[in-house]
Amino acid sequence: MKLNLPTFLSYFVSLLTPLALIGLALRILLTPIYYTVEYNMPYFPADEYGFTKADRLQWAPYAVEYLVNGADISYLGDLQFEDGTPLYGERELSHMEDVKGVVQGALRVWYVSVATLIAIAVLASRTGWMLEYLNALKRGGLWMIGLAITLGLIAGAGILLNPDIFWSFFSWFHSLFFEGDSWLFYYSDTLIRLFPIRFWQDAFLAAAVIALGGGLWLALGIKPKA
């Protein structure tokens, strides 16, 4: 059977489209916008060990910035409370190193997917199959809508119905990237005090909304003409 290159590439574009949209959502969540809004939500849980909102806004930027910069773990390991106590324990620092590897790997996938979509668009424009390319983007947008709705339902059900629903998903998600219980911490640990489970429920919900918006824009906004 002879390979039809435009058809093959069109489905490849459809596969890349959700990756590009999910990567966009991730990158937005890794800016000060998300944690600033989240900490200012009236329902966001207080820290029973003493962090105020100001404390969270002081320390959270270091953790988020570490994930996207080129610094080694000393960027977080050198942080101390006023009494000289390290902000993070060794187990937390080890986990953050692991998280950085996952996050930066995901961002590289995003960069590659966007660059590939652009390159294929140029190829499609020059070789006369732009219609197939645009239809592929629409199809990818539809796939993204389905994925985003599923993710949003899981996060929403965990907030509105039963926390165990999201916790089961959250545990499964971590098992894909981290070994054993290396991602579990005490409620008194800094990582949990800064980023309690509600932070992650809302993060997945926000990512779903961003990706859903992108999917809808592609699926409904692109109107290719033959």
The number of angstroms, rounded, from the C-alpha of 5 to the middle of its chain's C-alpha atoms is: 32
CA-CA distance, 127 to 150, in Å (whole number)? 37
- Mean residue pLDDT across the chain: 95
Other CB atoms within 10 A of residue 226 CB: 3
Reported as a single tens digit per residue, the pLDDT across 171-212 is 999 999 998 899 999 999 999 999 999 999 999 999 999 999
- Give the tens place of pLDDT for each residue, 165-178: 999 999 999 999 99
Question: What is the residue whose two structure tokens read 């937390």?
Answer: 92
Per-residue tokens: 40: 């200012």
pTM for this structure? Answer: 0.93
